[in-house]
């Protein structure tokens, strides 16, 4: 699944909530929690894809296979500190570039998504107070993190 498909899912859920008058309901809360889990899963796939693409540029198939396998084991958390730490395994420059390229607003939005997803996954999510519109806004603002990672891994 891609971020475009996630965006489509959000829009579909919004239309359904509006059509059924279910905004600010328990149904909206359940849909939002599900989409939080989905968004983080898509981000995980995207970060792994970017790393694999970078490794494949070496034209060394065994090395690229190793990087894909190691990435799946090393990149277990979507916390920004973990992403920066992963990039730091390439070099301090990669990690620093990631920090420079990710705006504060994007970092905050990304953190809200990841922390809320973790609350849903590990504690049932009853403490997550977020509407679908809030989630949509956080997703829009957080996409810069993916771009910052892409720029950092490409250098």
pLDDT tens track for 59-113: 999 999 999 999 988 888 889 999 999 999 999 999 999 999 999 999 999 999 9
More confident residue, 82 or 127: 82
Instruction: Output b/e per residue, 95-124; b: 16+ Cβ within 10 A.
Output: bebbeebbeeebbebbbbbbebbbbbeeee
Enter the pTM of the model. Answer: 0.92
The residues, any chain, with a CB within 8 Å of residue 117's CB and separated by 6 or more, are 36, 37, 39, 40, 78
């Amino acid at each position: 699944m891609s971020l475009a498909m996630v965006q489509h899912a959000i829009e579909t859920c919004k239309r359904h909530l509006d059509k059924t008058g279910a905004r600010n309901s328990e149904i909206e809360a359940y849909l939002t929690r599900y989409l939080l889990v989905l968004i983080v899963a898509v981000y995980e796939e995207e970060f792994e894809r970017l790393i694999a693409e970078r490794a494949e540029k070496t034209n060394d198939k065994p090395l690229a296979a190793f990087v894909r396998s190691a990435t799946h084991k090393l990149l277990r958390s979507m916390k920004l500190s973990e992403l920066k730490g992963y990039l730091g395994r390439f070099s301090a420059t990669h990690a620093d570039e990631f920090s420079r390229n990710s705006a504060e607003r994007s970092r905050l939005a990304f953190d809200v998504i990841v922390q809320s997803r973790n609350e849903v996954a590990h504690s049932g999510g009853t403490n997550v107070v977020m509407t679908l519109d809030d989630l949509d806004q956080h997703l829009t603002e957080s996409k810069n993190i993916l771009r910052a990672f892409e720029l950092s891994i490409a250098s």
